[in-house]
Amino acid sequence: MATNALSAVDHPGAKRPFLRVALPYLLSLPALLVCIGIIIPFFTAIYYSLQRYNLAFPQMRGFIWFQNYVDFFSDPAFWNTIRVSLLYTIFTVGIELALGLGIAMLLRRRTLLNDVMSLLLIMPLMIAPAIAALMWKLMTNPNFGILSYLASLIGLEDFRWASSPSTALLTVVLVDVWVYTPFMMILLLAGLRALPKQPFEAAELDGVPWSFVFFRITLPMLTPYIITATLFRMLESIQQFDIIYAMTQGGPGDTLMVFQVQSYLERFQYTNVGRSAALLMVLWVITFVMSNIFIKHWLKLREQARGVG
């Protein structure tokens, strides 16, 4: 449709058809070229992942096909990474969804107070996750941290937060929830406010109880938004690096060795390039599948939003 309309207008000056056909390509080429420079390393990463390649033993370097991947199956560290990454993703996204939906419901009506509130609540999202982790590190310091103090008030003497294996996951999940719940909140709030009013007005006239309205009307109508936001957050959460690295560098021990932290240490501490690349390829396959599902849902929602708006 767009091309038809354009060619109709272009008729008087249609002397240079080549340029007209090539124009869109020429316009998008620079952006693509800049990105291609960054695709090449991706293929290099695949190549690395098929090699025995440790910077400490250069003479041992060699092509070993899928041996790095095969080794993963019998490697407890790999299964630990899978377990921690999944737990981290499930906890963070689950809590953020519940909390974000709850807050969005509270702020649903457009009042001045609610608008100011939603603006204020976005602030943590605008803080660099690495910096947010350091802020929480200050607050959970065993000597003076306000949260350590509060924990001692409710009888949790010597609560070690991120430095104890039993509470480290809880602590980084808490920071992630602090940073990213606002994301869920504003997306679901936008979704709630875009819903048609009639079903709710009808339900109110009939005096339908609150819980019925929520579970039978609000939730089903909000589902496309929930799915899109949840997929997007899962995609980011399974790749989390900044918060965990800034807080504990993956420790204590191997408690917080999620994919990217593990492969970072594999590469820069143990100089094992091949293994690190193979681990990242496993993560890439997961995120590739997830991002395709996400993009499908996102496009549908985008069409919808553009249609309504």
Partner 1 sequence: MQRETTRSRIVKGVLLALVGLFFLFPIFWVFLMSFQTNQDILRMPPSLVFTPTLDNYVALISGRLETNAGTLEIKFMGNLLNSFILAASSVILSLILAIPAAYAFARYKFRLGEDIAFTILSFRFAPPLLVLVPLLSYFQMIGLVNTYIGLIWVYQLITLPLILWITRGYFEDISEDIEHAHRIDGHGWLKTFLKIAVPLALPGIAAAALLAFIFAWNNFVFALILASADKQPVTVGALAFVTASGIQYGQIAAALILSIIPTLIFAIAAQRYLVEGLSLGAVKG
Site for partner 1 in 238-257 (CB under 8 A): 239, 241-242, 245-246
Contact residue for partner 1 among 144, 158, 166, 211 (CB under 8 A): 144
Contact residue for partner 1 among 9, 56, 112, 154 (CB under 8 A): 9
Considering the complex, what minimum distance in angstroms separates the CB of residue 58 from partner 1? 13
Q: Where are the strands (E) in the chain, listed by range?
A: 51-52, 62-63
Q: Does 69 bind partner 1 (CB under 8 A)?
A: no
Prior bond of 17 cis (ω within 30°): no
Q: Does 30 bind partner 1 (CB under 8 A)?
A: yes
Q: Does 172 bind partner 1 (CB under 8 A)?
A: no
Contact residue for partner 1 among 172, 255, 259, 272 (CB under 8 A): 259
Tell me, by CB under 8 A, how many residues bind partner 1. 106
- Decide: 140 and 246 in contact? Cβ < 8 Å: no
Rg (CA), the chain: 25
Considering the complex, what minimum distance in angstroms separates the CB of residue 277 from partner 1? 7
Q: Does 294 bind partner 1 (CB under 8 A)?
A: yes
Considering the complex, what minimum distance in angstroms separates the CB of residue 253 from partner 1? 20
* Smaller CB separation from partner 1, 91 or 284: 284
Q: Does 41 bind partner 1 (CB under 8 A)?
A: yes
Contact residue for partner 1 among 60, 77, 98, 138 (CB under 8 A): 138
Angstrom CA distances, 207 to 109, 140, 211, stand at: 19, 48, 12
Taking CB under 8 A as the criterion, which residues in 77-106 touch partner 1?
Answer: 102-103, 106
Interatomic CA distance for residues 215 and 54, integer angstroms: 55
Nearest CA to 165 out of 257, 255, 261 is that of 255
Q: Does 191 bind partner 1 (CB under 8 A)?
A: yes
Q: Which residue has the tokens 């501490």?
A: 269
Contact residue for partner 1 among 71, 160, 163, 200 (CB under 8 A): 200
Interatomic CA distance for residues 238 and 224, integer angstroms: 21
Rounded to whole angstroms, the maximal C-alpha distance in the chain is: 83
Residues with Cβ < 8 Å from 91, sequence gap 6 or more?
Answer: 169, 173
Contact residue for partner 1 among 101, 162, 172, 301 (CB under 8 A): 301
User: Which residues on adjacent β-strands are paired with residue 51?
Assistant: 63
